[in-house]
Amino acid sequence: MSEQMRLDKCLAMLGIGSRSEVKQMIRRGLVSIDGIPAADPERKLDPEHSRIIVSGTEYVFKAERTVMLHKPAGVLTAARDKKQRTVMDLLPPMYTAMGCMPAGRLDKDTTGLLILTSNGTLAHRLIDPNKEVGKTYEARIDGCFTEADIAAFRSGLHIDDSDGVFDARPAKARILEQGDGSGSSLVEVRIAEGKYHQVKRMFAMRGYAVLALKRVRIGRLRLDPALEPGAYRELTQAEIGLMEQEDGE
């Protein structure tokens, strides 16, 4: 049995409304628990094992939520921003109410796999570079990526640019599409850390500009190809476990 919780707090955490709003809904008879109308906002219930219906809609409570989002370009990886749209704006209010936050970040113009979770332990594990959870990207770059570039990535790159100086750890790279001298290449890159603009800066140190960047995998968890940009879905426990496994490539 999960921890007992006040009904008004439970409904607020489900994103149904504020504490004052859900209290009004309860008093108006719009809420039932296990088929019985609820009248007291302070009544206790086991939220994970109770059938919660509000205005004819059934809600499922989970103590923790972990979401895969296909982040589109032009959206900030942040909890909130006064001027710009953030990834939290792409999710229903329930996820904010339950404490979901981005586990790591993608640049504003970078697309692809982003994890949002209310599980602080999981978030820390994905963000901590010492855990070495691999993140795999597909980068469209200007120019012809070479075997010498692959070897340089594999050895680790010394980054020294206007954003600072650091030694990037060895990274795996492979060519998916080879461009000619005047064309572009598509390169897959796997890193186990996440410095500021790291992938773009690594390519820049080799003389390439990144035209488009997309994260496609974390550990063994791949971005669901059925998810359009801006779409999301919750992860299963098995999928969460995939993020802790080496990608094997």
Name the active-site residue from 89, 107, 224, 247.
Answer: 107
Distance, CA of 71 to CA of 87 (rounded, Å): 7
CB 135 within 8 A of CB 218: yes
3-state helix, strand, coil in the chain (%, to 5): 25, 30, 45
Strands 111-117 and 210-218: parallel
3-class DSSP state of 117: strand
Give every CB contact of residue 14 below 8 A, 6+ residues apart in sequence.
52, 59, 61, 94, 97, 98
Three-state SS annotation for 150-203:
HHHHHHCCEEEECCEEEECCCCEEEEEECCCCCCEEEEEEEECCCCCCHHHHHH
Residue 149 is among the residues annotated as catalytic for this protein:
no
Give me the active site residues, please: 107
